[in-house]
């Protein structure tokens, strides 16, 4: 719609409204207007080409407007990121735009975020269809999922050496280019309030992208302005020393490891060092080995038995007793320390991989015949282990970004499962939040959902921290209704309910 200043030039022109999907196009006379009209029509046609229709197994009710496809982020190297976008279920023209990342590194935001957690269409347990999620976050926002970095899910590069250069800076730059180019394809969302979200290793991706957007918004002659308002992260990897201290203390406090194993790790490990000692790696391998019989991502849930043993992936061989093997593997795949794939669970993989590897699904998804030499079928995995192993872990803390963006006045929320996630436990999150030294705004209190305690919340000047009672690492999967309440409060800028 034209602004009040520009209205007079249209006063004498005849306008005709054409509805293309959810887009309203106004045509007018004049060559410059016609060029703008042609551009808008071209964009609308591109949108329609990427509209998802006849997605196998999709329920017919309610009607959903969604799109998927590729956004090129580097033409020279042939890099493109795959997206799945859902318009808000009501008032999409005014609802904010929310971008979601999963972590890993190497796990798909479509396989987890969209298809198992917060999207409106979840893959069913058999992997042969979809079911509507009544607690989908597109009730509150236009919801955009991106498979990042390249090599994850359907996203690809035609330059294989790219996969050896993956690190946080590489991912942030590609994510920024994705966002800019996606908004060019969907220009009607350019002016919307924009928020970034994610979980697990996206605890790095999200604030790093937010910082890049914030910095480039200052250079409007070089970069397009993006209406960034804030970000929210769940169970986020944030600061290595506090995160690993939390992992160890959580394992002991929740009876995963013995007093002796806890004492040995405490004695051997200085988590502030970028390279752990051989003794620390050996002690921590014992800690992780104790999770072999339960799910580290939700210690109170039933263990997935579809694939037999599902010990957390650490980059270690099964012979964890070999300290030399432990130390070598840890140094090769991390900052001299062991890392566990964030968000990995074989039960989710079974159903989502079965569904997204169907040829009819990939055709409806516009995922086939793109890149990769024009192959007609893409082998899709919910988590790409090779990305996890090859990733260059060059950033051990994103706390400086928090300090910078808090000072800038962005809305920043952090949420945690509270008591069931051993992978990124609430203990570690509380340590690094305390380290920020923020003034207290509102003290620790319960928040309520459906007349019950949904979790706890504390508000600092510049940051809100909330827990979700009874959830695991994937909060929107375990507690979908509570998670919807959480995102509603965040996007609206309202307090979580303080009364039953």
Give the catalytic positions in this structure: 200, 421, 473
State how far the Cα of 434 lies from the Cα of 475, in Å rounded to an integer: 22
Q: What is the C-alpha to C-alpha distance for residues 185 and 181, in angstroms, rounded to an integer?
A: 6
Phi-psi bin for 343: left (phi > 0), alpha (psi -120 to 50), beta? Answer: left
Which residues on neighbouring strands pair with residue 185, listed in sequence order? none
Q: How many CB atoms lie within 10 A of CB 289?
A: 18
Among 96, 21, 81, residue whose Cα is nearest residue 52: 21
3 state SS of 313: coil
Q: What is the residue whose two structure tokens read 């987890």?
A: 112
Q: Judge contact between 181 and 136, C-beta under 8 A.
A: no
CA distance 473 to 381: 20
Q: What is the end-to-end Cα distance of the chain in Å, rounded?
A: 42
- Residues 187 and 92: their CA atoms lie apart, in Å, by 13
Long-range pairs for 326-334: beta carbons < 8 A, 24 or more residues apart: 326/278, 326/281, 326/282, 326/285, 327/278, 327/281, 327/282, 330/276, 330/281, 331/275, 332/389, 333/388, 333/389, 333/391, 334/393
275-278-283-288 Cα dihedral, nearest 10 degrees: 60
For 439, the token pair is 């003034």
Q: Is the peptide bond before 10 cis (omega within 30 degrees of 0)?
A: no
């Amino acid at each position: 719609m034209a602004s009040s200043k520009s209205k007079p030039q249209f006063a004498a022109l005849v306008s005709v409204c054409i509805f293309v999907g959810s887009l309203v196009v106004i045509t007018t006379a004049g060559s410059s207007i016609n060029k703008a009209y042609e551009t808008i029509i071209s964009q609308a046609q591109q949108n329609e080409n990427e509209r998802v229709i006849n997605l196998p197994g999709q329920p017919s009710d309610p009607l959903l407007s969604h799109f998927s496809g590729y956004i090129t982020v580097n033409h020279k190297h042939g890099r493109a990121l795959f997206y799945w976008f859902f318009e808000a279920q009501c008032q999409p023209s005014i609802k904010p735009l929310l971008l979601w990342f999963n972590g890993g590194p190497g796990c798909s935001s479509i396989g987890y975020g969209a298809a198992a957690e917060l999207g409106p269409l979840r893959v069913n347990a058999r992997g042969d269809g979809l079911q509507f999620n009544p607690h989908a976050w597109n009730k509150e926002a236009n919801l955009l999922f991106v498979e990042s970095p390249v090599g994850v899910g359907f996203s690809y590069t035609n330059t294989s050496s790219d996969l050896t250069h993956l690190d946080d800076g590489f991912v942030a730059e590609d994510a920024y280019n994705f966002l800019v180019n996606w908004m060019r394809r969907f220009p009607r969302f350019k002016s919307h309030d924009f928020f970034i979200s994610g979980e697990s290793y996206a605890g790095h991706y999200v604030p790093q992208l937010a910082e890049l957007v914030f910095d480039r918004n200052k250079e409007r002659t070089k970069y397009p302005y993006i209406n960034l308002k804030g970000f929210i992260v769940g169970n986020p990897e944030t600061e290595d020393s506090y995160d690993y201290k939390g992992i160890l203390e959580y394992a002991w406090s929740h009876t995963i490891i013995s007093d002796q194993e806890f004492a040995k790790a405490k004695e051997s490990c200085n988590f502030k060092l970028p390279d752990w000692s051989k003794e620390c790696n050996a002690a921590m391998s014992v800690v992780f080995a104790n999770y072999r019989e339960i799910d580290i991502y939700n210690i109170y849930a039933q263990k997935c038995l579809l694939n037999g043993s599902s010990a957390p992936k650490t980059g270690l061989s099964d012979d964890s007793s070999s300290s030399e093997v432990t130390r070598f593997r840890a140094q090769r795949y991390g900052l001299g320390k062991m890392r566990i794939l964030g968000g990995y669970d074989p039960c989710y993989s079974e159903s989502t991989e079965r569904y997204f590897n169907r040829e009819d699904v990939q055709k409806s998804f516009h995922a086939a015949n793109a890149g990769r030499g024009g192959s007609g079928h893409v082998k899709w995995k919910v988590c790409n282990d090779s990305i996890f192993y090859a990733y260059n872990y060059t950033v051990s803390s994103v706390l400086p970004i928090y300090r910078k963006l808090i000072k800038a006045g962005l809305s920043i929320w952090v949420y945690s499962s509270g008591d069931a996630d051993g992978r990124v436990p609430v203990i570690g999150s509380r340590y690094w939040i305390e380290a920020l030294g923020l003034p207290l705004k509102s003290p620790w209190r319960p928040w309520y959902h459906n007349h019950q305690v949904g979790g706890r919340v504390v508000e600092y000047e510049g940051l809100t921290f909330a827990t979700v009672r009874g959830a695991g690492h994937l909060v929107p999967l375990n507690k979908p209704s509570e998670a919807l309440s959480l995102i509603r409060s965040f996007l609206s800028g309202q307090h979580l309910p303080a009364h039953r």
